[in-house]
Structure 1
Amino acid sequence: MLLTLLKEGYLFLRNYYGLLVHPSRTIIKIRQKPDWSQTILIFGLPGYFWAGTIFFLAILRFLIGIRGNLGWVAQTSLVLVTSIAALLFVYLLYFLFVTFKKFNRRK
C-alpha cells in the first residue's frame, strides 16, 4: 500500500512537472503508457482543485458558523479559484489538442 502510494505520488509529481516544463512531450508519454490512474490524476487536476477548495470553504463556513450570503472574502476566493481552475483546464486542453494534432500528422 505504501509503495503504491509512493509510486503514484512520484509519477503524479513527475507528470505535473513535465506538464509545466514540456507539456507536449509529457502528454505523448502519458498516451504511450496508458496508466489510467495517472491520466485521471493529471487531467482531472482542475476539477480536484476546484472541488477541494469549494469543500474547504464550505467546511470553514460551517465551523465558523456563518449562514446565508457569502462574504467578500469567500466570494473573492471562489472567483479566484474558479479562474485558476478554468485557466488550468484551458492550458491542459490546449496542449492536449496540440499534441493530438502533432501525433496525427505523423501518421
Structure 2
Amino acid sequence: MRILVPLLVDVVLVILFCAIGRRSHEEAVLAGLLRTAWPFAAGLALGWLGALLLARRTADAFDGSALWPSGVLIWAVTLAGGMALRAVSGQGTAFSFVLVATGVLALFLLGWRAAVSALG
C-alpha cells in the first residue's frame, strides 16, 4: 500500500472533486469532466513526483498513505498546480473557487490519510 493504492485513491478523489464541482454548477458531468479534471490531475502527478523525490532525497522509505510529509506535499502541489494550470488554460480561478478547492481537496487528499493513520 505504499504507492499504487494511495495513488489510485488520490486519482479517484480528484476526479470525484471535479465531478461534484461540475454537478453543483449544473454542468454536464461527463461531457466536460476531462476539461475540468486535467489541471488537477496534472497537479496531482507533480505532487506525487515531488513526494517521491523528497523521500529519495531524505533517504526515507516512501509511504504514499502517510499524512506527513507525503500527503501534505501531494495536496499542496495538487492545489497549486491545478490552479496554475487552470489560470494559464483560461479556466476560472475565482477566489471563492480557490477557497472551496482548498478545503475539499484537503478533506479528500488529507482526510483519508488521517483516517488510515488513526486506524492503523
Normalising by the residue count of structure 2, what TM-score does the alignment of the two structures yield? 0.37
Larger Rg: 1
Q: Of Structure 1 and Structure 2, which has the larger fraction of its residues in helix?
A: 1
Indicate the structure whose relative CO is greater, using CA pairs within 8 Å and at least 6 residues apart. Answer: 1
